[in-house]
Chains A and B, each alone.
Chain A
Amino acid sequence: MTSHKNLTHANPWIVASLLVLLLLAMAASCLLGAVDFHARDILQSPIFWQLRLPRVIMSVLVGAVLSVCGAAYQSIFRNPLTDPYVLGVSSGASLGAAVAILLGLEAWLWGVGGMALAAALVTVLFIYRIASIGNRMHTTTLLLTGVCLTLLISAVISFLMVLNQEKMDAIIFWTMGSFGSCAWSDVAAMVPVALVGIGVVLYFGRDLNLLLAGSEAAQSMGVEVEKVKRTLLAVTTLMVAFAVSSCGVIGFVGLIVPHAVRLVVGADNRRVVPYSALCGALFVLVCDTLARTLLRPSELPVGSLTSIIGAPLFIYLLYKNKKSI
């Protein structure tokens, strides 16, 4: 029987190893950039304190948040194709950001981010409202409304960009995702949201497993389905909204990291969620470090790097495992 015990929960040694690896990668990432440091000079440098450290911390937090939310959504909706943006958070945030950029709010602290956050939350609330029937949530309607609204909003954003071509670059760069403008104020907002949010998802790990067996089966096995779904959707939406509003839309991570983790460790969310958090953090950190060093001093959009690096990696995993997701 002992062979099964290691199968349900995350192995503390693997978690610890991943954490150490993550910390080492963060340290290495801090040394690299448009200006390279020697380890002994780094603590004196304002570049390190003002730019690099908050950026590295942000990339780790956002990577963890997107991966955990992806894992949670895939279980809640029982759909392997859902990603954290499927409910319209990203499109809402992008519209908010685009409007803020057009209004010239970039100079304000939280100008673009605050506007993006507000628009993201309004969009998702609107979608929930449509998909709620009585006190139940119809998940297919939720997904379809999300997809529809995403398409509508991206059309509106294209429209705004064509009408305001001089600001097009700023908007495009924002929608492709970047940690370039991350400051301590972003970190301060993100840390509590990420820690509490990931904690809540971990807490509901077994419930997520049961939801995968179907709402009715979950209920008959003692899960308060509607309550658990609502709590998890609220928490994950808030996490994604905060992530998107501070660094734009970084695709691929939330869809693929949980699947890659599942291919290696199986479907149990009590393993998938913590491993996804750590692997997602590491993955986005590496991508962002490459984004700002490959063509220095200029920068690549991190969202395109996550896809360029992640897609082949994932296809390799699929090929190696030779099984469907």
Chain B
Amino acid sequence: MIKLDNITVGYGKRPVLKGVTAQIHEGVLTALMGPNGCGKTTLLRTMGGLLQPAEGCVFLDNTPIGQIGARALARQIAYVRQHAQTDFDFSAFETVLMGRNPYQHRLQNESQADWDIVEHCMRQTSTWHLRFAKPDQMSGGELQRVMIARALAQDTPLLLMDEPVSNLDIAHQLEIMHLLRTLGKTVVIVLHDLNLALRFCDDLLLLHEGVLLFHGNVSDGLTPERIQTVYGVSTHREGGHIIFDY
């Protein structure tokens, strides 16, 4: 579905990602992991066509992503940012409705189908009761779920999510992860919780200092040795869980 062909990406002259090659297959839920500053967000933005790589190329279904127009791309890829905030007062409903933009012509009004999709996505993310709420009336976690609903409303086969569950309580984290499992979409999700990745994800992209250290089955990837290398933390496996040796 998405192919990264030896991409190097940087801001200014400093390369953040160095020679990353990987292929994300359809319907696979991939965890993107690594310590702070290792290039997770940069990789995700590059996959979403929001950043141009300095070298190499990103392909979406064999088409270079730079050749796809913004509208067409927005029907293929939805992107959930790490921090969601607006300074102006859109209600949660209006915010989610924005996700329908790639399907609407400028002078066209939202159709009944659009309203129904928005309602469906808000119910899926348990945000329907917040539909009239403004950003300052929502908690960080509620706002985050609204942003996930907006991405779902884009109705794309591919979802790129940058720490979408970091602001959520445990119950909502599990709820969103369960939801992602049942959607049948291709998902690349930045996670920090090793056990959440182990429990819900199929594959793992493990980044370390801008280099792709591992790409493959998540259970094979999260070995105590690799966790030690990447995070500098000592762990062991116990009954399918990763336990930290404090």
Query: A residues bordering B, Cβ < 8 Å?
Result: 1, 4-5, 7-9, 75, 78-80, 203-207, 209-210, 212-214, 216-217, 219-225, 262, 266-268, 323-324
Contacts and interface: CB of A to CB of B under 8 A. Distances in A.
A8 B94 CA distance: 8
B86 A213 contact: yes
A82 to B, nearest CB: 12
A7 B94 contact: yes
Contacts of B116: 1
B122 to A, nearest CB: 11
**Which residue of B86, B98, B102 has the most chain A CB atoms within 10 A of its CB atom?**
B98
Given A1-B116, A210-B98, 16 more contacts: A7-B91, A8-B94, A80-B87, A203-B106, A205-B106, A209-B94, A212-B90, A220-B50, A220-B79, A221-B98, A221-B150, A222-B73, A224-B70, A266-B91, A267-B90, A324-B136
B91 A1 contact: no
Contacts of A222: 70-71, 73-75, 101-102
B110 A8 contact: yes
A9 B86 CA distance: 20
A186 B102 CA distance: 40
A220 B94 CA distance: 17
B88 A80 contact: yes
B81 interface: yes
Interface residues of B, number: 39
Nearest to B48: A220
B70 A209 contact: no
**Which residue of A78, A203, A209, A323 has the most chain B CB atoms within 10 A of its CB atom?**
A209
Contacts of A80: 87-88
Contacts of A204: 106
Nearest to A204: B106
Contact of A4 (B45, B98, B115): B115
Contacts of B115: 1, 4-5
A221 B70 CA distance: 8
B90 A268 contact: yes
Contacts of A224: 69-71
**Which residue of A7, A75, A206, A221 has the most chain B CB atoms within 10 A of its CB atom?**
A221
B93 A220 contact: no
Nearest to B109: A9
Contacts of B104: 206
B16 to A, nearest CB: 16
**Which residue of A210, A213, A219, A262 has the most chain B CB atoms within 10 A of its CB atom?**
A213
A213 B40 CA distance: 22
A222 B110 CA distance: 16
Contacts of A212: 86-88, 90
B156 to A, nearest CB: 10
Contacts of A206: 98, 101, 104, 106
Contacts of B70: 219, 222-225
Given A219-B50, A221-B101, A209 B93 contact: no
Contacts of A213: 86, 95, 98
Interface string B51-81: 0000000000000000001110111011101
Contacts of B78: 220
A268 B77 CA distance: 25
A230 to B, nearest CB: 14
8 A-B pairs with least C-beta separation: A222-B74, A222-B102, A220-B79, A222-B71, A267-B88, A224-B70, A221-B101, A267-B89
A221 B88 CA distance: 18
B97 interface: yes
A143 B99 CA distance: 29
Contacts of A4: 93, 115
29 contacts: A1-B116, A4-B115, A5-B110, A7-B91, A8-B110, A203-B106, A204-B106, A206-B106, A207-B106, A212-B90, A213-B98, A214-B81, A216-B45, A216-B79, A216-B81, A217-B79, A219-B70, A220-B48, A220-B77, A220-B78, A221-B74, A221-B101, A221-B102, A222-B73, A222-B74, A222-B102, A223-B70, A224-B69, A224-B70
B170 interface: no
Contacts of B93: 4, 7
A1 B86 CA distance: 25
Contact of A203 (B97, B99, B107): B107
Nearest to A224: B70
B101 A220 contact: no
Nearest to B93: A4
Nearest to B94: A268
B149 to A, nearest CB: 13
A262 B50 contact: no
B146 to A, nearest CB: 11
A163 B113 CA distance: 67
A265 B145 CA distance: 25
Contacts of B91: 7, 266
B46 interface: no
A218 B46 CA distance: 16
Contacts of A216: 45, 50, 79, 81
